[in-house]
Amino acid sequence: MLRNYFNAAYRNLFRHKGFTFINIAGLALGLTACLLIGLFVYDELQYDKSLPEGDQVYRVYNDVSAKEAGLVAVTPPMYATTMKESFPEVETVVRILMLQFDANNLMEAGDKRVYEKGRFYTDPEFFEVFQLPFVYGSPDKALDDPSSIVISDEFSKRAFGDVNPVGQKVSVNKLPYLVRGVFATPDKFHLPVNFVLPMVAAELPAERMKKWSWLQFYTYVKLKEGADPKLTEAKLKSIVDKQVDPESNQPYYYIPVLQPLKEVYLYSASFKFDQSIRGNIVYVKALSMIALFILLIACFNFVNLATAKSAQRAKEVGVRKAVGASKSQLVLQFLGETVLLTLISVIFSAALTSLLLPSLNAFTDKSMSFNIFTDPSLLLLMLALTLVVGVLAGLYPALVLSGYKPVKVLKSAVVVDSSVGKIQWLRHGLIVVQFALSIFLIICAVVVYKQVSYLHGKDLGFNKEQIMFFQMRGENMFENFETFKNELKQVPGVKNVSVGYGFPGDATAGDGIIVPKNGEQVHHSVTQLMVDYDYINTLDVKVLAGRPFSKEHKTDADHAFMINETAVRELGYGTPEKALGQPLRWGIWNDVNPDSMKDGKIIGVVKDFHVKSLYDKVEPTVLQIFPSANWKVAVKITGEDVTATIKGVGEVWSKFSPDYPIEYIFMDDNFATMYKAEDKLRTLLWIFTSIAIFVACMGLFGLAAYAAERRKKEIGIRKVLGADTTTIVALLAKEFLRLVIVAALVAFPLAWYAMNGWLQDFAYRISIPLWAFLVAGIVAAIVAFVTISYQAIKAATANPVTNLRFD
């Protein structure tokens, strides 16, 4: 019997080659998109899942929403100290000093000299919290000595080859360390760790380590098995609530929160001062929904086409029932056909997935694999997918076909069963859903495209073009930065040079400023930019009132501040002009005398400019001269001969810092990387939206062919009575175009709701353009009309005599 079912299915599929091709192609393409998205989503969900006892580890972050600062990844040093000393449920806790993990460090080992990222200063408990396997050495006491360093196996191979480097010397930015161990580079780990140094090597002042206000550490706590993280969180919060900022004499306004380790990667996209590797759960969910949409569209195609062809198989059903076939046997036969068709589609989709996966890996910077021959779980997944999709897509058509009454279908040339009307409504409903999903995706793609274009094109309040950007290195360069600047200015093609800390797109300082007002010292949180006399001109920042810093005014270095427009409002000055001459005070960054203050006045107000991404609002910003913080160099070039200018800058660099190779980026490239995730989302949306529309159109093409076939006698009569091709095309098209209009009305509110929610993540965003909805509806209608027109024109131009002569 099974052989008979297979033969019947095989003959039926080959008898209707066009419909079979449309079904297989549509389903294979839909399944391929789902598999690719599924592999990506699965890979994203694996971060931090393989660490031993990782379910007991939590990251502590701060909720500073009360001050509109949002969620902040950094914490003060006293969080760890308090939990270690006073919380019995805490097994261990570790702090990691906030540095730029993606900054390059000059590593020297023997005759090897390379730049490496991923430097971590941390407490000795690092390898107790994160139990990374060691290739050489042991984690026990590996970080107890200030001269110790633990390196990754990947760096070890680059620096030492395949030998055991434990006991060997490594220089980090000219400071010597001894290798105490080599850990295996963790896969899917949110911390981009490459080499680990003990916290004591950072030489942090003891007084600072007792502060509750110095948000400079990432804190991770490992709780004892069975401990309740919510109770630990509540206890820590109650302690923080009792602490008082000695400068403002007010309680701290941040709230500590314990975040499970497995959520750090995907659920921290909006965190500030977070330098870990981050994904975005919103994008993972969005891609998962797109995969589901595409699969539904592909399955709906099959249901539509199968029910459309049901009338042509009515007599076959009648004959089979007349000779004794039961309904259950017919259901199994038709389900068998569906499963066979699905199996063929799955085989094609597996081949397509293997072919396209390398391109997806290159696009997403991943190393996903797909091989059903070496991975039994994948083979089982494909078999399960075949059965599930085959049964779900084929069950309703099988029930419809097996339900025909043999007496009626054998008596009549056409199916007169009452279920036909229901089938038509089903087909129309599925077409509406297909095109509603397609229109939804078109609108989303348009909105994402417009928002990403806005991110890249928005006026940032300064000129980021043609600016070389690099870190200062070597004592000679730091000590003689003025001479270094002056020599850079002499290089042909160099327009201006600025040295400081707090350039746009780079690290900035979140610090407090004191506003003397009515005899009181009012504290405000601001962004601090440590600049020089050329900062304003180098970046083309607009001065709204007052003047920029100038060497002609001797007091500017020690007694002058500039602020932005937002600071004018937040500090209560009213207008830029009224802010001029107002006093400000700042607690100088000075480890020798931490109570020293800088007293000065506001000499200028600048137009708001973005130093961070457009996810964040422009914050109150204070600019001041503070050479002790000099760290980065911005070189404005003319762009006339970029290669020669870069070479000239490199020669000056070599003169002041011969021991360090120069490394630079351009500031506009640095800003572009901020929106890398959005750029990829935009591309993926367009690709998968195109696939969804194409699959929907394939189904519509088949339905149009069926409609033309079903109405061929009507078309023949109309042709004989004088109807032209345009009239007949309109006749066949209007039924489907009405369904597209209904689909648009369904999709519009859903798309608006989804995109409005997505845009809320951006502090600066577009308004959803109404024309996007109009464009999506028109595109869907045009695509549908073009798809239908081929079959309609084919039917309209056929010889009416042929259609009227034969059944």
Q: Are 761 and 613 in contact (CB under 8 A)?
A: no
Q: Is 566 helix (H, G, I), strand (E, B) or coil?
A: helix
Same domain, 520 and 546: yes
Exposure class string for 103-114: b at 16+ Cβ within 10 A, else e:
bbbbbbbeeeee
Q: What is the pLDDT of residue 415?
A: 47
Look at residue 47 and tell me if it is in a domain.
no
Q: Higher model confidence: residue 336 or residue 435?
A: 435
- DSSP H or E run through 769: none
Q: What is the pLDDT of residue 705?
A: 66
Q: What is the pLDDT of residue 123?
A: 95
Is residue 414 predicted with pLDDT exceeding 50? no
Q: Which amino acid makes up residue 80?
A: A
Q: What is the pLDDT of residue 531?
A: 94
Look at residue 270 and tell me if it is in a domain.
no
Look at residue 108 and tell me if it is in a domain.
yes
Q: Are 780 and 744 in contact (CB under 8 A)?
A: yes
Is residue 319 predicted with pLDDT exceeding 90? no
Is residue 417 predicted with pLDDT exceeding 50? no
Residue where a domain stops, chosen among 673, 689, 720: 673
Is residue 207 predicted with pLDDT exceeding 50? yes
The region of weakest confidence among 220-234, 459-473, 718-732 is: 718-732
Percent of the chain with pLDDT over 70: 85
Same domain, 689 and 791: yes
Exposure class string for 743-764: b at 16+ Cβ within 10 A, else e:
bbebbbeebbebbeebbeebeb
Q: Which amino acid makes up residue 755?
A: M
Is residue 327 predicted with pLDDT exceeding 70? no
Helix axes 281-308, 676-710, angle to 10 degrees: 10
Q: How far apart are CA 699 and CA 695, in angstroms?
A: 7
The region of weakest confidence among 87-101, 352-366, 532-546, 777-791 is: 777-791
Same domain, 663 and 727: no
Give 18-28 pLDDT, tens digit per residue.
677 777 888 88
Mean pLDDT calculated for residue range 776-782: 87
Q: What is the pLDDT of residue 489?
A: 94
Q: Are 762 and 614 in contact (CB under 8 A)?
A: yes
Residue where a domain stops, chosen among 655, 673, 691: 673
Instruction: For residue 200, name the pLDDT band (cuts at 50, 70, 90).
Output: very high
User: Which residue segment(s) compose the domain that 77 sits in?
Assistant: 54-264
Q: Are 498 and 531 in contact (CB under 8 A)?
A: yes
- As for how many domains the chain has, the answer is 3
Instruction: For residue 411, name the pLDDT band (cuts at 50, 70, 90).
Output: low
Give the sign of the dihedral formed by CA 548, CA 549, CA 550, CA 556.
positive
What is the CB neighbour count within 10 angstroms for residue 676? 10
Helix axes 327-364, 314-322, angle to 10 degrees: 140
Q: Higher model confidence: residue 377 or residue 447?
A: 447
Same domain, 567 and 710: no
Tokens encoding 217: 């550490």
**Measured CA distances, 155 to 193, 201, 219, 391 (Å):** 11, 20, 25, 51
Q: How far apart are CA 701 and CA 582, in angstroms?
A: 73
Look at residue 416 and tell me if it is in a domain.
yes
- DSSP H or E run through 35: helix 17-44
Residue where a domain stops, chosen among 264, 290, 315: 264
What is the CB neighbour count within 10 angstroms for residue 187? 10
Look at residue 664 and tell me if it is in a domain.
yes
pTM of the model: 0.82
Mean pLDDT calculated for residue range 558-565: 94
Q: In this structure, are strands 105-109 and 169-172 parallel, antiparallel, or unpaired?
A: antiparallel
Look at residue 48 and tell me if it is in a domain.
no
State which of 444-458, 560-574, 588-602 shows the largest mean pLDDT: 560-574
Is residue 420 predicted with pLDDT exceeding 50? no
Same domain, 641 and 685: no
Q: How far apart are CA 640 and CA 492, in angstroms?
A: 10
Look at residue 275 and tell me if it is in a domain.
no
Percent of the chain with pLDDT over 90: 40
Tokens encoding 481: 């930065």
Helix axes 770-796, 712-720, angle to 10 degrees: 80
Same domain, 225 and 341: no
Residue 211: what are its φ and ψ, rounded to 5°?
-85, 150
Q: What is the pLDDT of residue 507?
A: 77
Burial level of 578, CB count in 10 A (0-12/13-18/19+)? middle
Q: What is the pLDDT of residue 356?
A: 92
Give the sign of the dihedral formed by CA 619, CA 623, CA 628, CA 634.
positive
Instruction: For residue 41, name the pLDDT band (cuts at 50, 70, 90).
Output: very high
Mean pLDDT calculated for residue range 33-56: 92
Mean pLDDT calculated for residue range 656-679: 86
Look at residue 183 and tell me if it is in a domain.
yes
Same domain, 347 and 478: no
The structure tokens 């701290």 sit at 252
Same domain, 649 and 687: no
Same domain, 85 and 155: yes
Same domain, 591 and 558: yes
Same domain, 323 and 336: yes
Is residue 508 predicted with pLDDT exceeding 90? no
Q: Is 626 helix (H, G, I), strand (E, B) or coil?
A: coil
Same domain, 407 and 508: no
Which among 296, 304, 293, 306 has a CA at the least distance from the CA of 341?
A: 306
